[in-house]
Every structure is written in C-alpha cells, then in structure tokens.
Amino acid sequence: MLDPVLTLASELVKIPSYLGTPRQESAVAARIAEFLRQRGVEARSIDVREGRPNLLASVDSGRPGPHLVLCGHTDTVPLNRDAPGVGLSGALALGRAGIKCLVLERRAEFSRYPKANGVHARTMELFREWGVAEPVKALTAGMPAGVTIAWRTRLNGIEFGSISIEESEEARRFFGMLSPELLSTAGQHEFEPLLAEAADALDNVTIKLSSEVVSLLIGDDSVTAEYTDATGGRHTVSAQYVIGADGIRSVVRRTLGIGEHGQTKLAGLHGARELPLMLALFIETID
C-alpha cells in the first residue's frame, strides 16, 4: 500500500494545472480539499482572481502557542521546464544525496543533435552546486555574452524580428545582482556528456546505455522495470521509485496513465505553411 500522501501526490500530478489550463489550480485544490475533509480537516477555497483559488485549511491543536503556517503552490509545473537533461540532472542530485540510482538510456550514446540551448540561471546555480557549471560555461567561451533570439526567413536570410536577453552590460550587471550565475547558451547535446560524466563518477549512480525500458510494473511498494540491452537480452530491475524522464512517447507516462495535453502536431502548432521553413531551419542547424 502506498503512503496516502504519495497516493495523493501521484493523483495531483495527473490533474492538469499548468499555466494555460482553464481555471488552473481549481481541480487540484478541490482534490486536496476533499483529501483534507476525509481526514476531518475543514478547508475553504477563496478565489484570489477568477478561477485562481487559494485553499485555506487549519488544524487546531487545542493548545495555546505560536502558529505554524505551511504555504505552497498547488499547480504542477512540468518538471522539464527550464531544466534540460532532467534524467541526468536527477541522477546527479540523487547520487549526491547518497541515494542509489540507475539511469537506463536506450541510445548507445547521448544524442548528437541539438535540443535545449537556453539553460536558465537557476539551473546554472544547480550545475554550480554539482561542480559542472564551469565546464558547461567553458562550452560557450568566446561566444557573445547574452542571447539574441531572431526570427528569420533563413539563417542567412531576412530578419523580421528579434529579442535580446542579458545582452547589454547594464542587463548583465542587473542579473549579476540576482544570481552568481547567468543564463547559458550551452547546447544540451554538449552538456549532457558532462552531466553523465559527473553522475557516473558517483558511487551511487550507474548509467547503462543501449538499455531500453519496455515495461514497468507498479507494485505496492516498489516498481519493476523490464529493459533490453544492446543484444536484445531482457533484464529486470526493481526500485522504490522511478523518474519518468523518457520524453513524450514515454513508457512511464503510459504506464501511469499520464496523458498529453496541447497541440500534438508541429504543423498544427505553427501552421502548415511555416513547417517547411522550420524544418529548413532545423536542417541548417544540424548541419
């Protein structure tokens, strides 16, 4: 039997509540209120704005003394937002915390194609704590400070708009007051091997490449993953928890019944007319 709080947490992450969801936190807040009421704790909901409820609950110990206030967000932000390389980052964080973990990656090597190339300052702060910020920064040494995002007909074509982040000295001074780290433009395909190297150096972390998870069995107090190796051989491994950092066509999502929301097709997202342009941009980037 799972702990009731863990069961609640696993229910809550399945309820869409991210930015852009109609009445964003409402369904999550309603489920938490129900959970509290079932345990004899009255909870009331107050809309701070239409469709944006705050849930207030208090437990009276019946004794005089100071109050302890616990306060937290109820919406769920997708884990991967602003933190590229979630699986490897997770392994590094767990390994450093003394927790044994195994990373199963179906590829024989980390992807050579670009994905994320905007690593936010907060993620860089974590990289700093893990001792990988300097090697990550070294990847972009000599490149212009700051980031300019431009919209162009082609990489060498007409520019019809751009925005700049942290470009001016003044902007960098301002951001420098907020964090010891600035946004980095290192590519995920370049810094993933650095994360893997740092994680692999920890006694608690094992990284297995060419290992594809084919199924997950969720037990009462453990999870068993079945995976194949490079020769097609089948293996199983059991653990207390599994982190689903296996992309959108995820075995973990499928097993847990976590759906997908939003646009499913690139063509639908950006309009079929722009698709050839986008593909051309990607092909040029990869070249």
Ligand X SMILES: Cc1cc2nc3c(=O)[nH]c(=O)nc-3n(C[C@H](O)[C@H](O)[C@H](O)COP(=O)(O)OP(=O)(O)OC[C@H]3O[C@@H](n4cnc5c(N)ncnc54)[C@H](O)[C@@H]3O)c2cc1C
d(CA 189, CA 200): 17
Grouping H, G, I as helix, E, B as strand and the rest as coil, residue 142 is coil
CB of 89 to ligand X, least distance (A): 7
Quote the CA–CA distance of 137 and 256 in Å, as a whole number. 37
The answer to whether the beta carbons of residues 221 and 214 sit under 8 Å apart is no
Question: How far apart (Å, rounded) are the C-alpha atoms in residues 121 and 108?
Answer: 30
To the nearest whole angstrom, how small is the minimum distance from the Cβ of residue 38 to ligand X? 34
Closest approach of ligand X to the CB of residue 74, in Å? 22
Amino acid at 257: G
If we measure between CA atoms, which residue out of 109, 71, 69, 73 comes closest to residue 207?
A: 109
State the nearest-atom distance from the C-beta of 124 to ligand X, in Å: 11
Q: How far is the CB of 225 from ligand X (least distance, A)?
A: 9
Within 10 angstroms of residue 17's Cβ, the number of other Cβ atoms is: 21
CB of 18 vs ligand X, minimal distance in Å = 13
Cβ distance to ligand X smaller for residue 23 or 208:
208
Query: Contact, 269 vs 263, CB < 8 A?
Result: yes
Least CB distance from residue 180 to ligand X, whole Å?
19
Specify the residue, 100 or 107, whose C-beta has the smaller distance to ligand X: 107
Contact predicate 167/146, CB 8 Å:
yes
C-beta closer to ligand X: residue 118 or 135: 118
Residues 132-135: contacts with CB within 8 Å, 24+ apart? 132/92, 132/191, 132/194, 132/195, 132/198, 133/181, 135/191, 135/194
Question: In angstroms, rounded to a whole number, what is the distance separating the alpha carbons of residues 108 and 263?
Answer: 30
For β-strands 205-208 and 159-165, DSSP reports them as unpaired
In the complex, the residues that contact ligand X under the rule CB under 6 A are 80, 82, 84-87, 104-107, 111, 115-118, 188, 212-213, 245-247, 251
For ligand X, which is the closer residue by CB, 30 or 147?
147
Q: Which is nearer to ligand X, 43 or 202 (CB)?
A: 202
Nearer to ligand X, 55 or 200 (CB): 200
25 vs 105 by CB, closer to ligand X: 105
What phi and psi values does residue 264 have, to the nearest 5 degrees? Answer: -105, -20
